[in-house]
Amino acid sequence: MRTYTKYEFLDLLEDKLRKQRMTTVDDATDKDLFYAIAAIINDEVRQAGLETVKRYRQNKERQVSYLSLEFLIGRLIESNLVNTGFKAVCDEVLTDLGRSPRAVYHEEEDAALGNGGLGRLAACFLDSVASLGLAGNGFGIRYRYGLFEQHIAEGHQIELPDNWLKEPYPWETRRAEEAVTVNFGGSVDYITDDDGNYVFTVTNPQKVTAVPYDVSIVGYRNDVVNNLRLFKAEAADHLENATYNSRLDEMNAIDQISAVLYPDDNSEDGKLLRLKQQYFLVSATIQTLVKRFKQTFGVPLTQFHDKNVIQINDTHPTLGIPELMRVLMDEEGLDWDAAWHVTTQTFAYTNHTIMQEALEKWSYDLIRQLNPRVLMIIEEINRRFCEDKPTEDIEEIAIISDGLVHMSRLAIVGSFSVNGVAALHSEIIKNYTFNAFYRLTPDKFNNKTNGITHRRWLQNANPELSRLITERIGDTWVTHPEQLEQLMNYTDDVEFLEQLHAVKFSNKQRLKALIFEQTGITVDENSIFDVQIKRLHEYKRQLLNVFHMMYLYNTIKDNPAINMQPRTFIFGAKAAPGYKRAKEIIRLIHAVADTVNADPAVGSRMKVVFLENYNVSLAEDIIPAADISEQISTASMEASGTGNMKMMMNGAVTLGTMDGANVEIDERVGRDNIIIFGLSSDDVIGYQHNGGYNARDVYTNDDRVKRVMDQLIDDTFNHGKSFDDLYYHLLKDNDPYFVLEDFTAYVEAQERAAALYQDKKTWQRMSLVNIAQSGRFSSDRTIKEYNQDIWKLHNNQ
Ligand code: C3B
């Protein structure tokens, strides 16, 4: 990639403004500047992308394809500027022009083609794959509407369509010439060929064109540019025997396939359209990969797996397994055994959840409707797999049972690797969730603890902290994040600790301004910024956090003169539109906020803030300002978490349960630098197995619990409508997420946190240790492990 002086960059900018926006630097709007800068980046990046592809082709490189129904990209302009090396010069040119770089960069729409952790992980992984110089590409869907835009009206969540493509997306290139056709439905016929083999054909399928839109993925200053291919569904040019009106109907139906992202996180909506999206993605991808293989390598398809590995992001792309079988057998003439060998050497499956409601099971009939040939192949996989298995195991391992296809079982059987996303989670999978499979093929199972790209989440989101770190330990941490550990040499360096504190303080001041702008609430930058930002889900236990706030409020009301550490509770969370209880929790947060923030008796000791429409860009503003990172899921239920890693890397202290990757954060920083509380995963799993916990007992015997519970249904925080669903649910359904059980331990942990925070030196040291130990949670480390253990790609750097 070239480097530019300020003057050269300004020349380029003027040129792009003139030719592409018909304007000049004097008249340019922020949007004009954004598009002009994107055009400069694209000129460089597309050239480097061509060269990268050429090199991969010439070297006949093995490649990984990361298949995911979600890529939660956020904005790309800043990471593209950083990774190309243009960031500093671009900032300078804009500043010299009297423009705000931030305002210009914020003209980009936040691309939210994902829900939460799983989708953001996919985006971080692409950044790391390219930055490590590995040959890997993403495949996903170009949803016309991404994750809904959240508004709050009187505490109620309102969902508006996310019209992210209303203006051209500068990072995509439509590649109509590489479109492929995906067949849905139809009926299966077969004939017997001369050798007595069955040959299957599908007649009268619905034909859908999958048109690729390519987004360049820029490696960090290494001239590697990989690709994210997003498919859009379009009607085929020639619909046979169609009248004009039936053609319009069909076009509309086809448009629906890539129209919207399903807004469910850690739960599944068993709709045919969702299944269509899954098959659309995997069929388009497999056809593309097989075509490329034939064009590039000139060897038989029996060697496909030597050159390809496909990582599937949860079970959503599992139909890729029968689809590859179908293409290899029906289109390429391989027999079952040869096709099965290739397929099972190609696929690797990552599990991201053990939540029952998220483990996909599709009805047999729905899959037949989707594509009858694919269903036949699944049946045959199941028949062969179950053939030699002991009857007592069948119930636990059968891919098809009770009219349902268990996608995780199909994924395990069809893959050579199965991994969880944090050490604890991988153990739970082996010992509980997929134990029968683990006993059959223990070597398939492995762990790959998640990570986050430190380039976006530290370098970009927290430039002041990055600068400070570099001043002390040089900049090798940028390419070798484990080097952050050198910061451990400064744990007693008072000057450095003060500088760290000053950076945090200025980040908090910026967030304070943003909070005021968005909500009109004035918060105290000297208070603890206690942050819980993630999807709203009962297992993530925002409710526990709310109960603590209610308890604190009661404490102040009981004793108005009490001297306590001031706190600002900051929330960001979207609830799935159909998830009523999650929406009630959002309403409760607002009810508590309204009461607390308006009560003069509380004053500045406590403020509650809910920032609406939480997304990647807002996370980038909140995380650098966090003091406490709330990671309080019911132990065993959060597979990993990645927000925990982002906040740690920015110097927040984790207050959490021994769940997911919190366990590994604890291991890295030591118990002095993290605040751990509550039931362990063994406790929770134990309770679940013998129903030993009685929520009503806790309610009856613990006055503090009883009081906050009762306040759900009295008028303390009641704005018109009480929270009786939450109240009765906790008591009658026996509090499945152990909120009441963990309440006392949580309050006690919060008290420890406040005491530690008041001891400034101690807190600053804790914060530093967290930053210093966060290098392990860079997705560069994660991707190196995927590559060493699973993908085994040639390393280009
Ligand atoms: C999430 C899990 O809930 C997180 O613990 C985990 O860190 C991330 O995946 C990434 O591995 N997850 C999600 O966002 N959506 C799902 N459907 C399943 C898991």
pLDDT recorded at residue 720: 78
Residue 433 domain-assigned? Answer: no
Residues 230 and 325 in one domain: yes
Per-residue pLDDT at 692 = 67
Q: Assess whether 185 and 81 both reside in one domain.
A: no
Sign of CA dihedral 581, 587, 589, 592: negative
Distance between terminal CA atoms of the chain? 15
Q: What is the distance in A from the centroid of ligand 1 to the CA of 640?
A: 7
Residue of the nearest CA to atom 7 in ligand 1?
Answer: 641
Give me the residues paired with residue 136 across strands: 64
- Name the closest-CA residue to atom 16, ligand 1: 266
Residues 54 and 70 in one domain: no
According to the model, what pLDDT value does residue 269 have?
A: 86
Residue-level pLDDT at 250: 87
Residues 125 and 172 in one domain: yes
Both 321 and 331 in one domain: the answer is yes
**Ligand 1 atom closest to 421 (CA):** 11
For ligand 1, the distance from its centroid to the CA atom of residue 269, given in whole angstroms, is 16
Residue 725 sits in a domain whose CATH number is 3.40.50.2000
Query: How far apart are the CA of 139 and the centre of ligand 1, in A?
Result: 18
From 69, 115, 118, 264, the mutation candidate for ligand 1 (largest count of ligand atoms within 8 A of CB) is 118
CB-ligand 1 contact for 636 (6 Å cutoff): no
What pLDDT was estimated at residue 243? 81
**411 and 529 fall within a common domain:** no
pLDDT at site 227: 98
CA 425 to ligand 1: nearest atom: 5
Q: Model confidence over 330-353: pLDDT tens digits? A: 999 999 999 999 999 999 999 999
Ligand 1 and 265: CB distance under 6 A? yes
Whether 280 is covered by a domain: the verdict is yes
Mutational pocket test of ligand 1: of 352, 425, 453, 777, the residue with most ligand atoms within 8 Å of the beta carbon: 352
Among 366, 385, 415, which residue terminates a domain?
Answer: 415
| Pocket flag, ligand 1, residue 421 (CB < 6 Å) | yes
- Residues in the chain predicted with pLDDT less than 50, given as ranges, are none
Does residue 666 lie within any of the structural domains?
yes
Instruction: Retrieve residue 184's tokens.
Output: 């849905």
pLDDT value of position 238: 64
> Do 64 and 101 share a domain, yes or no?
no
- Picking from 375, 393, 415, the residue at the C-terminal end of a domain is 415
Count other C-beta atoms under 10 Å from residue 223's C-beta.
19
Task: Evaluate: CB of 773 within 6 angstroms of ligand 1.
Answer: no
Q: Residue 672 half-sphere exposure, CB side, CA atoms within 13 Å?
A: 7
Q: Which residue reads 């060998």 in tokens?
A: 341
CA–CA separation, 261 vs 533, rounded Å? 21
Q: Which ligand 1 atom sits nearest the alpha carbon of residue 115?
A: 14
| Residues recorded for the chain | 797
Domain count, the chain: 3
Residue 730: the pLDDT is 97
Contact status, residue 185 vs residue 207, Cβ threshold 8 Å: no
Q: Are residues 557 and 581 in the same domain?
A: yes
CA 63 to centroid of ligand 1, rounded, Å: 25
Query: Catalytic residue numbers?
Result: 352, 534-535, 540, 642, 646
Range of the domain at 310: 60-75+110-415
360 lines ligand 1 (CB under 6 A): no
Question: Is the Cβ–Cβ distance between 717 and 592 less than 8 Å?
Answer: yes
Per-residue pLDDT, 495: 98
- Domain assignment present for residue 213? The answer is yes
CA 642–ligand 1 middle distance (angstroms)? 9
Same domain for 292 and 280: yes
Q: What angle do CA 39, 43, 49 make, to 5 degrees?
A: 125
CB 410 within 8 A of CB 321: yes
419 lines ligand 1 (CB under 6 A): no
- The protein residue with its alpha carbon nearest to ligand 1, atom 4, reads 641
- Whole-angstrom distance, CA of residue 127 vs CA of residue 141: 18
Residues 130 and 259 in one domain: yes
The Cα 171–Cα 148 span in angstroms is 21
Residues 95, 141 within the same domain? no
CB 55 within 8 A of CB 46: no
Tokens 């498919």 locate to 231
Of all atoms in ligand 1, which is nearest to the CA of residue 450?
11
DSSP state string for 239-256:
-TT--HHHHHHHHHHHHH
Assess whether the C-beta atom of 268 lies below 6 angstroms from ligand 1: no
Q: Could you give the CA distance from residue 568 to residue 627 in angstroms, rounded to a whole number?
A: 10
Question: Which whole-number Å values give the CA distances from 272 to 153, 183, 256, 410, 654, in the listed order?
Answer: 32, 15, 11, 19, 41
User: How many angstroms separate the alpha carbon of residue 314 from the centre of ligand 1?
Assistant: 9
Q: Is residue 737 in some structural domain?
A: yes
Find out whether the beta carbon of 358 lies less than 6 Å from any atom of ligand 1: yes
**pTM of the predicted model, to two decimals?**
0.98
456 found inside a domain: no
Give the distance (Å) from ligand 1 centre to CA of residue 345.
25
Q: Is the CB of 660 under 6 A from ligand 1?
A: yes
Cα 259 to chain centroid, rounded: 20
DSSP for residue 776: G
Q: Do residues 145 and 88 both lie within one domain?
A: no
Q: In this structure, is residue 349 part of a structural domain?
A: yes
Pairing of strands 567-572, 404-406: unpaired
Q: 3-class SS at 132?
A: coil
167: left (phi over 0), alpha (psi -120 to 50) or beta: beta
Q: Which two tokens stand for residue 433?
A: 């969730």
Residue 641 in contact with ligand 1 by CB distance below 6 A: yes
Any domain includes 438: no
Q: State the pLDDT at residue 414.
A: 98
Q: Give the separation between CA 284 and CA 43, rounded to whole angstroms.
A: 28
659 lines ligand 1 (CB under 6 A): no
Spacing, Cα 353 to ligand 1 middle (Å): 6
